Amino acid sequence: MLRRALPALFVLVIGLAFTAGGGARAQGPLTPRAFLPMVASGGDLPVTPPPAAGAVTVRGLSSSSVAANGSAGELRAYGEVVNGTSAAIGAVVVEVTARRASGAVVARERGTSRLGAVAPGDVSPFGVLFEGVVAPGAVTVTAEVISVAPPAIAVRTDLAVTVQPPANVILSEDGTTAVSATQLAVNGGVRNAGGARLEMVQAAIAIYDASGNVVFAGFTNTFSMPFLAEDDPPVLGPGQSGSFQVLVPRGPIMAAGAGLVVKAWAEAAPAH
């Protein structure tokens, strides 16, 4: 039996070449929940005070105003923050500014990176929506790190993450099926490769174009996990695996071109 579970936290990265198409069948849209920061023990890196924001940088910045159905849509920007310090960090607040060629500011918005703990030298993806800024024409985006929080949990290295290229979402209604015109699905798995029982699993994904720029970032804390009885907590025991799915807007991904790569991270806390 499988059970939908809350999120967890860890940080391994797997990259796969992107291939459009496929026939993955979605079970219906997953409902994301707000991630609640956790203070956990048993990780591999200590929780320490955050470094100065200047030691954390932004790279891989991109923007798009293509909607999920391929038409003109609201402006979005994606990128990743790089932990250039010698200690783990937590959520990073980034301010993204969109400008025209003349230098005039179109809009300015803030977003927060996806992972609750980022090891030294690792990255965490982020996305920003410029609400109400539709089809702004040619713009460039820049980003600035505003604040760096301490890690919400300890970084772990005992989770093994796998991820598949985006696949078609198959819709089924009244005995008929059709390929979704607006969504793709990124499916993945998380295996507990350590000796401790883990709970609160969360996964984040990023899709990169051929130049290494982030063209989408998303996350989920809804998992399918094995369990023994209906009232058992959603826990990954040693050697056990769970699966996840992140729904992705089709339009921007198809517009990003060939050579896309998917990466995934996961996080988890020791089970009580």
Cα atoms found within 13 Å of the Cα of residue 258, Cβ hemisphere only: 0
pLDDT, residue 77, reads 97
- Residue that finishes a domain, picked among 115, 148, 181: 148
Q: Are residues 214 and 186 in the same domain?
A: yes
| Percent of the chain predicted with pLDDT > 90 | 65
Spell 37-55 as b/e; 16+ CB within 10 A means b. ebebeebebebeebbebeb
- Tell me the β-bridge partners of 199: 269
Pairing of the two strands 72-83 and 123-134:
antiparallel
Query: Which amino acid belongs to residue 163?
Result: V
How far is Cα 117 from Cα 155, in angstroms, rounded to an integer? 6
For the chain, the domain total comes to 2
Pairing of the two strands 92-99 and 14-17:
unpaired
Domain assignment of residue 43, yes or no: no
Q: Which of 116, 112, 122, 126 is nearest to 60 (CA)?
A: 126
- What secondary structure, in 3-state letters, does the chain show? CEEEECCCECCCCEEEECCCCCCCCCCCCCCCCCCCCCCCCCCCCCCCCCCCHHHEEEEEEEEEEECCCCCEEEEEEEEEEEECCCCCECCEEEEEEEECCCCCEEEEEEEECCCCCECCCCEEEEEEEEEEEECCCCCEEEEEEEEECCCCCCCCCCEEEEECCCEEEEEEECCEEEEEEEEEEEEEEEEECCCCCEEEEEEEEEEECCCCCEEEEEEECCEEEECCCCCCCCCECCCCEEEEEEEEEHHHHHHCCCCCEEEEEEEEEECC
pLDDT, residue 36, reads 28
pLDDT per residue as tens digits for the range 107-134: 999 999 999 999 999 999 999 999 999 9
CA 61 to chain centre: 15
The vertex-88 CA angle with 82 and 94, nearest 5°, equals: 40
Q: pLDDT: is 35 or 155 the higher one?
A: 155
Q: Are residues 59 and 98 in the same domain?
A: yes
Domain assignment of residue 45, yes or no: no
**Token pair for residue 104?**
């005039």
pLDDT of 140 higher than 50: yes
Domain assignment of residue 189, yes or no: yes
Q: Are residues 234 and 198 in the same domain?
A: yes
Range of the domain at 201: 2-34+155-270
Q: Contact 133/106 with Cβ under 8 angstroms?
A: yes
pLDDT of 138 higher than 80: yes
- Residue that finishes a domain, picked among 128, 148, 168: 148
- The backbone torsions φ and ψ at residue 53, rounded to the nearest 5 degrees and listed phi first, read -60, -30
The reported pTM is 0.79
Domain assignment of residue 219, yes or no: yes
pLDDT, residue 41, reads 28
Q: Are residues 63 and 12 in the same domain?
A: no
pLDDT per residue as tens digits for the range 142-188: 999 999 999 999 898 999 999 999 999 999 888 888 999 999 999 99
Q: Which of 93, 92, 90 is nearest to 117 (CA)?
A: 90
Q: Are residues 64 and 122 in the same domain?
A: yes
Average pLDDT over residues 234-263: 92
